[in-house]
Amino acid sequence: TQSTRPQRLLHAVQKNATKGDPRSVVKAIDNFCRQKEWAMNVGDEKGCILDSVVSEVNPVTVLELGTYCGYSTVRIASLLPPRAKIITLEFNPDYAKIARQVIAWAGLEDKIQVVEGPSGEWIPKMKEQFGVKTFDLVFLDHWKDRYLPDTKLLEDCGLLRKGTILLADNVICPGTPDYLEYVRNSPRYKSQYFKSHLEYTKAEDGLEKSVFLG
């Protein structure tokens, strides 16, 4: 039977990356996407902005919405301090299966918890199921029309604290207009746009970094 693109991406990691070396996993995926097949990873250009935000925030508890193949999960986790954790939500079981193997190849299982299921169901359970008080950093990279409802859900569930950083991918392409309007106009956020390019292309895209003011 024909393999899927995530399966081919995983094979490229297992073939070209060094087991236990997260940065070589990131490199192998970027090379695969540049040379073989485009895939919707945040990519190396926007990835550098992601790295700088993660390093600046130095988060202990991170939430990622939309794991896909685990590229940004590995990229973030590789920068986390020893006891820090990232919980990543993925509702497609096939993608979750691939992501777990990419994460295992990077040797980052101890820092990453892949939770299978829709964000709408799992966000309200974060406190009771995972002992999360609040998140220090949230990376939004799932369906673009879910960024706003899930942000409001995070607020309502008391999972954001004064200073929590929301970092959103694709605010230009494919675009998240309702989310952008909200974080840029709400008195509860201080928002900043980081102009970049759509992964592996010359098209404009960017990340929006928003600080929750409480």
Annotated active-site residue 141? The verdict is: yes
- Contact between 208 and 183 (Cβ < 8 Å): yes
174: contact with ligand 719 by CB under 6 A: yes
Which residues in 131-170 contact ligand 719 (CB under 6 A)? 141-143, 146, 169-170
Annotated active-site residue 170? The verdict is: yes
170: contact with Mg ion by CB under 5 A: yes
- How far apart, in whole angstroms, are the C-alpha atoms of residue 95 and residue 68? 5
Annotated active-site residue 169? The verdict is: yes
Q: How many residues bind ligand 719 (CB under 6 A)?
A: 21
Q: How many residues bind Mg ion (CB under 5 A)?
A: 3
Tell me whether residue 77 or residue 98 sits nearer to ligand 719 (CB atom). 98
Other C-beta atoms lying within 10 Å of the C-beta of residue 29: 27
Window of 83-91, 125-133, 150-158, 170-178 that interacts with Mg ion by CB under 5 A: 170-178
CA distances from 45 to 52, 74, 154, 169 (A): 11, 16, 28, 12
CA dihedral for 68, 103, 124, 173, sign (positive or negative): negative
First-to-final CA distance of the chain: 51
91: contact with ligand 719 by CB under 6 A: yes
Tell me whether residue 21 or residue 38 sits nearer to ligand 719 (CB atom). 38
- How far apart, in whole angstroms, are the C-alpha atoms of residue 174 and residue 168? 12
92: contact with ligand 719 by CB under 6 A: yes
Which residues 6+ apart lie within 8 Å of 196 measured at CB? 45, 46, 49, 204, 205, 206, 207
Annotated active-site residue 21? The verdict is: no
Residue of 30, 64, 90, 144 marked active site: 144
Catalytic machinery residues: 141, 144, 169-170, 199
Q: Which residues bind ligand 719 (CB under 6 A)?
A: 40, 66, 68, 89-92, 95, 118-120, 141-143, 146, 169-170, 173-174, 198-199
